[in-house]
Amino acid sequence: MSGNPTVGERSVDGRSVDVACLGESMVTFLPSRPGRLADAPFFTRTIGGAESNVACALAVAGHRVKWVSQVGQDGFGDHLVEAIGAYGVDVSAVGRDALRPTGIYFRTATDRATDEHEVVYYRAGSAASAMSPATVGPEAVGDARVLHLSGITAALSDDCLALMRELTAPREGRPTVSFDVNFRPALWREASHGGGVLLELAREADLVFVGADEAEAAWGVAGPEAVRALLPEPATLVVKRGGRGAVVFERDIPAGPGGHAPDTPTGTDTPTPTDTVTFAAAPRVDVVAPVGAGDAFAAGFLSGTLRGLPVRERIRHGHLMAAAALTAPGDLGHPPARRPPATPHAAAPRRSPWIAHADRLVALDDAAWGRLHLGPGWTRTGADQEGRTP
């Protein structure tokens, strides 16, 4: 997509929001000490949700963002709306449900992939799980340049899946659709069914994020090239490889409606779409909590995309956002923006402090980037342990 020349100015196409993020957010409870949930005497309350994580990170980066969801008409719903709004996210499109509760969950701080990790969800029958085409129409996201979705929403209920299918269906005026696969086998009644649904939705998107490990788990394909062969439709495919880095496949010829490759009539000389393939390594990070990094990466990459940056710089911005999440105990790696919640027509900062600092690191040459070593507090102090900026 074309770049936004000055972050915070109204888009030339008349859309007043840079990104609309749709999905469930929950109140999260983190144990006061390491170990089993059963042994934790106290918990710290925070917030967590794939799409709202992306919204908050983008707002801190200076973009105009709205969060579209439903929460209960309860104290936890109040907390979510207030906390996410404090990051500068427009929360005016969040519905309140008097009959259903806000979802909550408890988790340990260990890596999700390890046997020690525990997570307990209380989200069945939540307000967000009742989202449907009847409660959230296309007009709720029609003022956005980009609509960001994740596969988690599709797993919440049949109504949520119907909504996802409606929002990703090709139509005139549809925002650019960004889709993070976010395969969570425990959320699906049958993991194999979940993989098929997520593949269907990804094929309708313009920009897709997927981890190499989850692509293998969901679809049985190994390696970035195999993922691209399975998913040729999106104009941009981002395959994340954990601490190694990320590979981006970006189509070289203009896309047709909805971001997909244009049809090629038989007998014409229209070229077959080809990709430019870009890899960017991730910096070394002292991990505090391995949760929320994927959402943060998506936010950093989307921020770079909105600004029209080259692909390698977009990937590096994704890595830096992920590093911010990895070096903080909660799902979010940035302090709230110290400004009132945004409205669709409110002016956002032209250049946030986060963007200015991240731009300096992104501009490092390959050798200096390779020496970069980020630890806790680097987003606050601007300091890194190796490879300091000039």
Catalytic residue ranges: 295
Token pair in block for residue 26: 């929950």
What backbone phi and psi angles, to 5 degrees, belong to 246?
A: -145, 150
| Beta-strand runs (E) in the chain | 17-22, 26-31, 43-48, 65-72, 94-97, 104-107, 119-122, 144-150, 176-180, 207-211, 236-240, 245-251, 275-281, 284-285, 373-374
* CA 12 to centroid of chain Cα atoms: 24
Q: How many CA atoms lie within 13 A of 290 on its CB side?
A: 12
What length is written for the chain? 390
Task: Give residues with Cβ within 8 angstroms of 334, minimum separation 6.
Answer: 56, 57, 60, 87, 324, 354, 379
Q: What are phi and psi of 386, to 5 degrees?
A: -140, 160
Please choose, from the candidates 189, 184, 212, the residue with its C-alpha nearest in 3D space to the C-alpha of residue 198.
Answer: 184
Distance CA 275, CA 277 (A): 6
- Reduce the DSSP state of residue 60 to 3 states and report it: helix
Q: Classify 374 as helix, strand or coil.
A: strand
∠ CA 233-179-193, rounded to 5°: 80
Distance CA 140, CA 66 (A): 10
Instruction: Let me know the angle formed at the C-alpha of 128 by 188 and 130, rounded to the nearest 5 degrees.
Output: 80
| 3-state SS assignment for residue 150 | strand
Beta bridge partners, 381, equal none
Contact 268, 176 (CB under 8 A): no
Spatial separation of the C-alpha atoms in residues 95 and 127, rounded to whole Å: 9
